[in-house]
């Protein structure tokens, strides 16, 4: 593998720290508002195959959204996917800062260090981040199985994204470029792309439909489709 690989899954869990109550029901925490169902299952199989550990979010995005920068207004959201988060509604600046210092900064810094190390050892790096989406939020347009998010203005990243999409289509996966979100919106990949401007950093976000992740064997099918692409790096 000539390209260094960094794996991450920011929304892997719907749980809360033991001493935290955000005033949200378990049903809501287990919905799209709380986490990305199946995202970890996909990246875990990739990790097992490649032998590369995954940077994994430990708690629900309602507590701290690790796919938002520390200055983003929704990093500790008062409303998440339409669901109110009472425990964040009146969060003081001090409490917000303390939460970010304890849970957000260590995660982002760990990913940063891993990216920096791969740039040193390999000269180029693919940061591959696994997420999932709810087709019910836009049933007319969200009919596909997988979206590949990237910045078309970055040639190194765009070339890898095109190769990934070709591999997915070859495996029979219905894939779209930069859907259901753009590849330049608020995300850890976007932030690190800016931080590593001028370097061979590619931050690609995989978005898999819940129609796939809720289907028996669906997560494994997507992971199996991705692995040959990663083996070719």
CATH number of domain containing 158: 3.40.630.40
Confidence (pLDDT) at 128: 98
State the CB neighbour count (10 A cutoff) for residue 30: 14
7's enclosing H/E stretch is strand 4-9
User: Crossing angle of helices 155-170/218-231, nearest 10°?
Assistant: 130
**What is the number of domains present in the chain?**
1
- CA end-to-end span of the chain, whole Å? 5
User: Crossing angle of helices 105-122/188-195, nearest 10°?
Assistant: 50
CA 142 vs CA 25, 178, 207, 224, 230: distances in Å: 27, 12, 11, 22, 26
Query: What is the biggest distance separating any 2 CA atoms in the chain, rounded to whole angstroms?
Result: 50
Block means of pLDDT (10 residues each) for the chain, 233 residues, are: 94 97 97 98 97 98 98 97 96 97 98 98 98 96 98 98 98 98 97 97 98 98 97 93
CA 172 vs CA 17, 147, 165, 167: distances in Å: 40, 14, 11, 9
Confidence (pLDDT) at 181: 97
Confidence (pLDDT) at 2: 87
Domain limits for position 45:
4-231
């Amino acid at each position: 593998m000539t390209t260094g690989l960094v794996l991450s899954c920011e929304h892997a869990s719907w749980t809360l720290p033991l001493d935290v109550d955000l005033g949200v029901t378990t049903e809501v925490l287990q919905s799209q508002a709380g986490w990305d169902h199946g995202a970890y299952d996909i990246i875990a199989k990739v990790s097992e195959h490649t032998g590369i550990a995954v940077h994994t979010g430990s708690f629900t995005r309602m507590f701290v959204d690790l796919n938002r920068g520390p200055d983003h207004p929704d990093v500790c959201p008062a409303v998440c996917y339409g669901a109110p988060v009472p425990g964040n509604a009146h969060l003081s600046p001090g409490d917000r800062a303390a939460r970010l210092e304890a849970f957000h900064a260590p995660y982002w810094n760990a990913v940063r260090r891993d990216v920096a190390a791969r740039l040193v050892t390999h000269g180029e790096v693919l940061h591959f981040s696994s997420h999932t989406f709810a087709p019910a939020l836009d049933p007319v347009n969200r009919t596909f199985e997988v979206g590949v998010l990237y910045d078309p203005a970055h040639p190194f990243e765009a070339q890898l994204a095109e190769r990934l999409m070709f591999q997915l289509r070859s495996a029979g996966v219905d894939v779209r470029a930069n859907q259901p979100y753009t590849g330049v919106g608020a995300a850890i990949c976007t932030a690190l792309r800016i931080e590593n401007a001028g370097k061979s950093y590619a931050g690609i976000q995989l978005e898999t439909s819940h129609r796939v992740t809720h289907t028996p064997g669906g997560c494994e099918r997507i992971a199996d489709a991705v692995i040959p692409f990663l083996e070719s790096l």
